Structure 1
Amino acid sequence: MNEVFGHLSGHPRRDPMRELISTMLSHRTTHTNEEKAYFQMLEKFPIWQAVMDAPVEELTQALAPAEFPGAKALNIQKALRLIQVEHPDFSLDFLHDLDVPQAMAWLMVLPGVGLKTATLVLLFNFQKPVFPVDTHVHRISQRVGLIGAKVTHDKAHQILLDMLPKDALVLYNLHRHLLKHGQKICTWHSPKCEVCVLQNLCNYYADVRSKGIDLPYKG
């Protein structure tokens, strides 16, 4: 897919703490509202210590553009307290020196941090060979036939990683390209199969769309 979307350098798009907190905010939330919630939070509480110490009602109000702002406020504050115990400067740079199992285990102890969030932070910021599975990656993988219709997001992480080179830059490019492909072409409703570069590989196209059946995917 590099030929279609271009080769990306893998340079971090944002610092590790920003990646962590923004991804926590992104659950069931559009990118626009995730960004709005993040910047409203920092406008009211400009440093991580202030976010951690804020009255939870005020932090919830600042995070209102995101879905479930109350739960996310509590999780963010609990996560910041756990980070501060070992790293008072709220830096995640120590993750560079951990191997993947250690880094994953450390991150997933934090409230509100699951496989997707942990793998995004490790791949995007620390060039660890992991493969994040978001909604778009999961949908495309099912449609193409890389994973079964009943495979969960969590199980898909390891299944897909086992198929792929353990090269962080390759994994980064594939994740970002599948994300863009899912947003622009292989959308949830009425995917644009007629212009899809994966047409010849895709079970969904072979079984459904090429036969003139125009139904939303139910996998």
Structure 2
Amino acid sequence: MSSLAHTLSPKDKAWQVHLRLNDVFGLLPTYPRRDPMRELISTMLSHRTTHANEEKAYSQMLERFPTWQEVMDAPVEELADALSPAEFPGAKAVNIQKTLRIIQQTHPDFNLAFLEQMDVAPAMDWLMALPGVGLKTATLVLLFNFHKPVLPVDTHVHRISQRVGLIGAKVTHDKAHAILLEMFPPDAQVLYNFHRHMLKHGQKVCTFRNPRCGSCDLQNLCNYYEEVRSKGIDV
């Protein structure tokens, strides 16, 4: 298979990556994986935390404080203790309670369904004004729960995009959101599948350490593969 790594534009290469990973993992339907409030709070907990510990922290929180009102009103030290499996539980406890108070002011039932009717920009602004909510959290909530045409860039999407050559080596996670988003049509299903498939590919093949380049379906698109192979390194 001839190399396309340095002949395709980043935009064309991104689309080829999308098509190939669709073939590998199958086209996924877009549907919420969890309630919007859970998506919001769980993603806040996930920062620098493994998925297993994020889930454990969330479960412990609701075991001790079964409603959002109780989470909001809990002594912050007790909430932090419940969140101890997550990294930075004290800071996350403070941000979660502040976030819940802001939501309660206009939505006392803690229902985020109103985001469905909002355009992307104001919905993003509203979410990112919440304490502890950044681009990744806001885009995950809007894409996964409300099918908005946004693209979450997690560590897997960022790493693979740099290795393949969709973005430069010095492009930050935050800047990558806008750069990668412009490479795709404003189609929630396309963006959802690209995000989910890049995550799976990053977990299974293009891992942080010792990527499995020899079995990668993106070989002839990938700058990293071409550069490593050209140096005679066994991949």
- TM class by smaller structure: over 0.9
Match of 1:13 among 33, 41, 52: 33
2:127 aligned partner, one-letter code: L
In the alignment, the residues of structure 2 paired with residue 12 and residue 46 of structure 1 have an alpha-carbon distance, to the nearest angstrom, of: 22
**Aligned residue for 2:176?**
156
In the alignment, the residues of structure 1 paired with residue 212 and residue 203 of structure 2 have an alpha-carbon distance, to the nearest angstrom, of: 11
In the alignment, the residues of structure 1 paired with residue 66 and residue 99 of structure 2 have an alpha-carbon distance, to the nearest angstrom, of: 17
Match of 2:113 among 55, 72, 93: 93
Aligned-residue offset at 1:211: 3.2
- 2:77 pairs with 1:77: no
For the 8 Å contact 1:193–1:209, the answer to whether it is kept is no
| Residues 33-59 of structure 1: per-residue CA shift (max 9 Å, x gap) | 000000000000000000000000000
In the alignment, the residues of structure 2 paired with residue 48 and residue 5 of structure 1 have an alpha-carbon distance, to the nearest angstrom, of: 36
**Aligned residue for 1:110?**
130
For the 8 Å contact 1:59–1:73, the answer to whether it is kept is yes
Unaligned runs of 5+ in 1: none
**SS of the residue 1:208 aligns to:** helix
In the alignment, the residues of structure 2 paired with residue 90 and residue 212 of structure 1 have an alpha-carbon distance, to the nearest angstrom, of: 57
**SS of the residue 1:163 aligns to:** coil
Structure 2 vs 1, CA of residues 114 and 214 (structure 1 numbering), >3 Å: closer, same or farther?
farther
Aligned-residue offset at 1:6: 1.1
- 2:228 pairs with 1:208: yes
**Aligned residue for 2:188?**
168
2:188 aligned partner, one-letter code: A
Q: Which residues of 2 match residues 26-45 of structure 1 at below 5 A?
A: 26-45=46-65
| Residues 168-199 of structure 1: per-residue CA shift (max 9 Å, x gap) | 01100110000010011000000000011111
In the alignment, the residues of structure 2 paired with residue 58 and residue 209 of structure 1 have an alpha-carbon distance, to the nearest angstrom, of: 53
In the alignment, the residues of structure 2 paired with residue 43 and residue 205 of structure 1 have an alpha-carbon distance, to the nearest angstrom, of: 47
CA RMSD after TM alignment = 1.1
TM-score, normalization by structure 1: 0.96
Which structure exhibits the higher relative contact order, with contacts defined as CA atoms closer than 8 Å and separated by 6 or more residues?
A: 2
Aligned-residue offset at 1:212: 3.4
Identical aligned residues as a percent: 78
* Runs of 4 or more above 6 Å deviation: none
- 2:207 pairs with 1:187: yes
1:24 aligned partner, one-letter code: M
| Residues 59-84 of structure 1: per-residue CA shift (max 9 Å, x gap) | 00000000000000000000000000
| Residues 118-142 of structure 1: per-residue CA shift (max 9 Å, x gap) | 0000000000000000000000000
For the 8 Å contact 1:190–1:214, the answer to whether it is kept is no
Structure 2 vs 1, CA of residues 181 and 210 (structure 1 numbering), >3 Å: closer, same or farther?
farther
- 2:140 pairs with 1:120: yes
In the alignment, the residues of structure 2 paired with residue 23 and residue 127 of structure 1 have an alpha-carbon distance, to the nearest angstrom, of: 17
In the alignment, the residues of structure 1 paired with residue 232 and residue 52 of structure 2 have an alpha-carbon distance, to the nearest angstrom, of: 35
Would you say how many aligned residue pairs link Structure 1 and Structure 2? Answer: 215
Aligned-residue offset at 1:209: 4.2
TM-score, normalization by structure 2: 0.90
**SS of the residue 2:38 aligns to:** helix
In the alignment, the residues of structure 1 paired with residue 186 and residue 125 of structure 2 have an alpha-carbon distance, to the nearest angstrom, of: 19
